């Protein structure tokens, strides 16, 4: 089994993945700025030397840490741009073979919601947050092409235990499918550089990519079973990014 380091292990996704990947028998190291798990490495993405030493002997880094929504640019610059650079550079120095990078659907947020999109569409980020994830995907491309690190960029959809809005009937990523997806990203042989959409097997999904089949990701959940329970608050959204595309959007949502 591979040795895996998870950054942001105390975040919403990190906690689910730490439990789920451990149940699959993976050997995990947990890294977070919050001292919340016994045995976890407590540190900040600003500390390049600590990241490098934390990755010694690691086969794969699952990079979840950072700001997960819109925020003031100075904060995004520190955590999502400088911090992501430190993760990739530490992985290079520590000879890590693969990085799984938590990107977001908001890198393509301004594509019209009527369009079904794949991993080849041009980035159209809907926020400064989305811009930082475009940076991360491009950085991963560079570190693969120049340094040979295998990279999977996961454009995460709406990560919840169940969908809450009409938009999320297409964008939902269940907790169970998130574990299946990231396990496939870690275990798949010879991924090179891939972009995959982090989404469940939703009947209404508007995202398609070939990478899911390439890595053996088989989602099991469909948001449609909750269709009678969700609100219709975003029924009129024009773009894939939903409320993130609004000029006044400052944070929150998925």
pLDDT tens string 159-203: 999 999 999 999 999 999 999 999 999 999 999 999 999 999 999
253 within some domain = no
- How many independent structural domains does the chain possess? 1
DSSP secondary structure letter of residue 231: B
Determine the structural domain holding residue 209 and report its residue range: 3-245
Q: Are strands 150-156 and 98-104 parallel, antiparallel or unpaired?
A: parallel
Q: pLDDT tens for the chain, 254 residues: list them.
A: 899 999 999 999 999 999 999 999 999 999 999 998 888 999 999 999 999 999 999 999 999 999 999 999 999 999 999 999 999 999 999 999 999 999 999 999 999 999 999 999 999 999 999 999 999 999 999 999 999 999 999 999 999 999 999 999 999 999 999 999 999 999 999 999 999 999 999 999 999 999 999 999 999 999 999 999 987 654 458 999 999 999 989 888 77
CATH value at residue 124: 3.40.50.720
| 87 domain residue, yes or no | yes
| Whether this model's pTM surpasses 0.85 | yes
Whether residue 235 is contained in a domain is answered as: yes
Parallel, antiparallel, or unpaired: how do β-strands 172-173 and 193-198 relate?
unpaired
Decide if 254 is inside a domain.
Answer: no
d(CA 4, CA 90): 14
Let me know if 143 is a catalytic residue: no
Is residue 251 included in any domain, yes or no? no
* Options 85, 129, 143, 244, the catalytic residue: 129
Q: Is residue 250 part of a domain?
A: no
Within the chain, residue ranges assigned H as helices are 12-23, 48-54, 73-76, 83-93, 128-147, 168-171, 175-187, 211-215
Q: Is residue 66 part of a domain?
A: yes
Q: Is residue 11 part of a domain?
A: yes
């Amino acid at each position: 089994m591979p040795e895996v380091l998870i950054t942001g292990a105390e975040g919403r996704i990190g906690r689910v993945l730490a439990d789920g990947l451990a149940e699959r028998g993976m050997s995990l190291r947990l890294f977070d700025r919050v001292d919340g798990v016994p045995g976890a490495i407590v540190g900040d993405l600003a500390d390049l030397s600590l990241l490098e030493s934390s990755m010694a002997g690691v086969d794969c880094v699952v990079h979840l840490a950072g700001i997960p929504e819109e925020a003031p640019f100075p904060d995004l610059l520190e955590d999502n741009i400088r911090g992501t650079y430190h993760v990739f550079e530490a992985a290079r120095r520590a000879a890590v073979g693969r990085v799984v990078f938590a990107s977001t659907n908001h890198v393509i947020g301004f594509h019209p919601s009527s369009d079904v999109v794949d991993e080849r569409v041009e980035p159209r980020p809907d926020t400064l947050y989305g811009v930082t994830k475009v940076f991360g995907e491009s950085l991963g491309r560079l570190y693969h092409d120049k340094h040979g690190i295998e990279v999977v960029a996961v454009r995460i959809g709406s990560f919840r235990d169940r969908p809450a809005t009409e938009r999320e009937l297409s964008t939902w990523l269940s907790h169970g499918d998130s574990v299946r997806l990231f396990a496939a990203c870690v275990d798949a042989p010879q991924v090179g550089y891939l972009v995959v959409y982090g989404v469940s097997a939703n009947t209404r999904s508007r995202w398609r990519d070939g990478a899911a089949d390439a890595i053996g990701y088989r989602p099991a959940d469909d948001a449609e079973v909750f269709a009678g329970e969700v609100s219709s608050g975003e029924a009129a959204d024009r773009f894939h990014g939903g409320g993130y595309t609004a000029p006044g959007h400052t944070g929150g949502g998925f």
